[in-house]
């Protein structure tokens, strides 16, 4: 917010041409920061260089050429590159599917030629190689966006990169529980389409796996090994692209450059509002941790944001916006991004559909007609949702059920009087809004200033912003995955909120000195809040259901009292400093939006107390297991199936916690029976991760290969299931001595052993 305030609310979009070095300095500085952080996090220099070449030549270049051919007129170089990168990811996905289905994933490196050759050979397309732009990104806008990207990358370093090695370094290594599972999906995508469940060979994976296909394609094209892509390069790159997309989409939709970069700050600098008191996951999430705990969320944002831009053109542009329209190419972009969103994240399309339905409903009430473009767009979204539900997800619910307010219910104690229960429900609902929606306060300012008479595109953004938390409150999930609907709604909400902030800033009409003071004040307020939150962090055990939300409500009350006191003394302050007259609303709104700034700092700081992924569930990831898995990867074929004697994260009272994914993750191979808890058919079972495997005969045959092997049994595993390798962890169970006479021992480190079937 400091950079935003000092840059001004709405500078002209056309400025004088600057020397090339100055013009590209923000982008170069941003890349330098990200690259430096990655190198400090032990990313090999060669891997970074290879990935950079892949990003430029195999995503950015072909995607930008196609985007230029689709949009009507150019606007800015940064928009062409950001939107082009998103288009490039969609084209990459199609190329990956084709090459993998044909059994030639190695040919994927050649896919950019399918774009580059026509654009070099066809005269009508050749003009898109060199474009003159009527607008130049303002210097303050560019450096502000660079600050957002740099700051968020530093957060990723503190919360993820610094505490999660590419390969474990000792036997005591722990890791966030989902990461090995996600790595296994990316590993499967290097040679499968559609994907099977890596932990149960042959079981169809009815899931949103497109983001992991992107990671697989990154590795295949760049030549960088998949763990380095997954644990180092992929997440920071997607986050940086998403931040830039928020900024350019906000600029395009609102016509205000600083509305776009303010939206990027709200999404990637301001975290959740909530003062730390030992509880890390209020309402299913904490800060923006989800970007590394679930890379598919960030991947879905990268596709959703340009989809919002294209749909914003179709539902009705705002009056006075001078950004050139996309033209008919907007329809092609809508189709491309809807298609890619079907398997990017299951939360994307429902929120888009709800936003379009809300837009249509408002148009029907206000204008007494349904816009044709909105109806056609909604029809396309319905078709995409049906494809996702029927084909990709096979009508699997993944544990999602209609369960209103299930995300709030854990904080409401049972057995109290009706009055007390109602009061607690109200307070918990307020805490939910403060915790997750405070950064959208600018939308309220926009509604108030426009007296509820919004432009169609603003109605569309409001619909998406409301739909996200509404779906979260409507449905339930045993793993709190309904939180992803709220995250999807952020992509709409921050654009609307920043638009409101920019309009309030316009009306305040600050001088250059006033903007600098506002920026300094916002930064000081953020630092003060962060210092208070760091100093007050405790780990007090919860004695009441509502205890986790009490610190948040108490601090919100304290800040509200502070705002009230300032409001009472405002006339005195205006009399002392007349320049404050008419600027109180801007100061208040800026303070409200900045209130969540400590969120990311607190999330990263949690690693001091809760290493290896913060306070989130972790699983043991001993280096010896990973070494054995990587040995198998290096000596096996992609279609080989593995068998192992490790199925459980832990055994509790005789029940197996079947969340073990290390072998399929690091070997990048399918396993006959590993940990089955995340298989779609198992998610949502009442037993949770302790539900038994659905094919008892297969599990018995798997386990007998280690405890009571026979020549016939091993031959059946080989011929029926395609098993070629047996991987043993002797701390879980020592293999039978007979196994050495029936299979070849190829790798032995004492704890771990790998056999090849004959």
pLDDT at 282: 79
Confidence grade of residue 13 (pLDDT, cut at 50, 70, 90): very low
Does residue 539 or residue 138 have the better pLDDT? 138
Nearest CA among 646, 645, 665, 651 for reference residue 735: 645
The tokens describing 111, both together, are 């896919």
Q: How far is CA 461 from CA 172, 259, 349, 370, 675, in A?
A: 47, 14, 14, 18, 41
Residue 530 has pLDDT above 60, yes or no: yes
The tokens describing 636, both together, are 């096996």
Nearest CA among 220, 417, 454, 216 for reference residue 317: 454
* Mean per-residue pLDDT, 31-35: 97
d(CA 723, CA 756): 9
Quote the mean pLDDT of the chain: 91
Residue 174 has pLDDT above 50, yes or no: yes
pLDDT at 18: 62
pLDDT at 540: 57
* Mean per-residue pLDDT, 171-185: 92
Task: Please give the angle made by the CA atoms of 258, 264 and 270, to the nearest 5 degrees.
Answer: 115
CB proximity list for 573: less than 8 A, separation 6 or greater: 566, 580
pLDDT at 611: 55
* Mean per-residue pLDDT, 52-69: 97
* Mean per-residue pLDDT, 247-275: 92
pLDDT at 7: 37
pLDDT at 527: 92
Residue 287 has pLDDT above 60, yes or no: no
Nearest CA among 474, 185, 212 for reference residue 350: 474
Q: What percent of the chain has pLDDT over 90?
A: 76
pLDDT at 235: 95
d(CA 720, CA 715): 8
Residue 196 has pLDDT above 80, yes or no: yes
Tens of pLDDT, residue by residue over 381-431, are: 999 999 999 999 999 888 888 999 998 998 999 888 999 999 999 999 999
Rounded to 10 deg, the angle between the 348-367 and 456-474 helix axes is: 130
pLDDT at 17: 57
């Amino acid at each position: 917010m400091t950079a935003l305030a000092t840059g001004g609310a709405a500078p002209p979009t056309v400025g004088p041409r600057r020397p090339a070095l100055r013009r590209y300095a923000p982008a170069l500085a941003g890349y330098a920061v990200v690259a430096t952080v990655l190198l400090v996090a032990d990313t090999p220099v060669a891997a970074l260089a290879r990935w950079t070449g892949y990003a430029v030549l195999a995503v950015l270049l072909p995607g930008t050429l196609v985007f230029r051919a689709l949009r009507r007129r150019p606007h800015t170089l940064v928009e062409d590159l950001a939107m082009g990168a998103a288009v490039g990811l969609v084209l990459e996905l199609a190329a990956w599917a084709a090459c993998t289905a044909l059994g030639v994933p190695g040919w994927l490196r050649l896919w950019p030629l399918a774009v580059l050759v026509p654009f070099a050979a066809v005269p009508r397309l050749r003009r898109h190689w060199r474009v003159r732009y009527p607008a130049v990104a303002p210097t303050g806008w560019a450096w502000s966006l660079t600050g957002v990207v740099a700051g968020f990358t530093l957060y990723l370093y503190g919360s993820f990169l610094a505490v999660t090695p590419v390969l474990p370094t000792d036997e005591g290594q722990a890791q966030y529980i989902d990461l090995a599972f996600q790595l296994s999906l990316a590993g499967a995508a290097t040679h499968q389409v559609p994907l099977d469940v890596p932990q149960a060979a042959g079981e169809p994976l009815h899931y949103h796996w497109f983001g992991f296909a992107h990671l697989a394609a990154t590795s295949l094209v760049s030549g960088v090994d998949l763990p380095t892509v997954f644990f180092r390069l992929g997440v920071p790159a997607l986050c940086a692209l998403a931040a830039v997309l928020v900024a350019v989409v906000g600029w395009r939709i609102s016509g205000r450059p600083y509305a776009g970069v303010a939206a990027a700050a709200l999404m990637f600098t301001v975290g959740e509002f909530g003062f730390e008191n030992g509880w890390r996951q209020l309402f299913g999430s904490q800060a923006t941790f989800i970007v590394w705990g679930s890379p598919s969320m960030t991947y879905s944002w990268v596709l959703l944001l340009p989809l919002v831009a294209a749909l914003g053109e179709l539902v009705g542009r705002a009056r006075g916006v001078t950004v050139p329209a996309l033209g008919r190419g907007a329809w092609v972009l809508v189709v491309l991004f809807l298609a890619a969103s079907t398997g990017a994240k299951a939360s994307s399309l429902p929120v888009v559909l709800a936003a379009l339905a809300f837009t249509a409903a408002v148009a029907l009430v206000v204008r007494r007609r349904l816009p044709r473009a909105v109806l056609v767009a909604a029809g396309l979204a319905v078709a995409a949702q049906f494809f996702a539900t029927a084909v990709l997800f096979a009508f699997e619910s993944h544990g999602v059920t209609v369960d209103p307010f299930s995300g709030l219910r854990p904080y409401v104690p049972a057995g109290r009087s009706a009055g007390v229960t109602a009061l607690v429900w109200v307070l918990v609902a307020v805490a939910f809004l403060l915790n997750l929606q405070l950064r959208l306060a600018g939308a309220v300012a926009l509604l108030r200033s426009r007296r509820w008479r919004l432009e169609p595109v603003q109605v569309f953004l409001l619909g998406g912003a409301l739909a996200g938390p509404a779906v979260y409150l409507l449905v339930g999930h045993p793993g709190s995955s309904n939180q992803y609907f709220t995250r999807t709604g952020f992509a709409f909400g921050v654009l609307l909120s920043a638009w409101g902030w920019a309009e309030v800033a316009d009306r305040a009409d600050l001088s250059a000195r006033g903007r600098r003071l506002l920026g300094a004040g916002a930064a000081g307020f953020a630092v003060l809040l962060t210092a208070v939150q760091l100093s007050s962090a405790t780990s007090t055990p919860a004695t009441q259901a509502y205890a986790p939300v009490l610190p948040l409500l108490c601090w919100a009350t304290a800040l509200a009292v502070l705002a009230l006191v300032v409001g009472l003394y405002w006339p005195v302050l205006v009399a002392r400093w007349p320049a404050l007259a008419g600027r109180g609303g801007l100061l208040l709104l800026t303070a409200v939006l900045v209130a969540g700034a400590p969120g990311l700092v607190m999330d990263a700081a949690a690693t001091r107390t809760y290493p290896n992924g913060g306070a989130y569930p972790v699983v043991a990831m001993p280096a010896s297991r990973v070494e054995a898995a990587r040995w198998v990867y290096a000596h096996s074929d992609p279609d080989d199936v593995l068998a192992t004697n490790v199925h459980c994260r832990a055994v509790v009272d005789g029940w197996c916690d079947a969340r073990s994914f290390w072998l399929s993750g690091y070997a990048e191979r399918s396993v006959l029976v590993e940990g089955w808890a995340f298989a779609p058919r198992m998610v949502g079972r009442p037993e949770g991760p302790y539900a038994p495997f659905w094919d008892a005969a297969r599990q018995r045959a798997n386990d007998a290969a280690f405890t009571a092997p026979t020549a016939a049994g091993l031959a059946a595993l080989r011929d029926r299931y395609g098993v070629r390798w047996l991987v043993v962890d002797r701390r879980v169970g020592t293999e039978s001595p007979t196994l050495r006479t029936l299979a070849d021992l190829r790798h032995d480190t004492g704890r771990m052993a790998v056999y090849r079937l004959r």
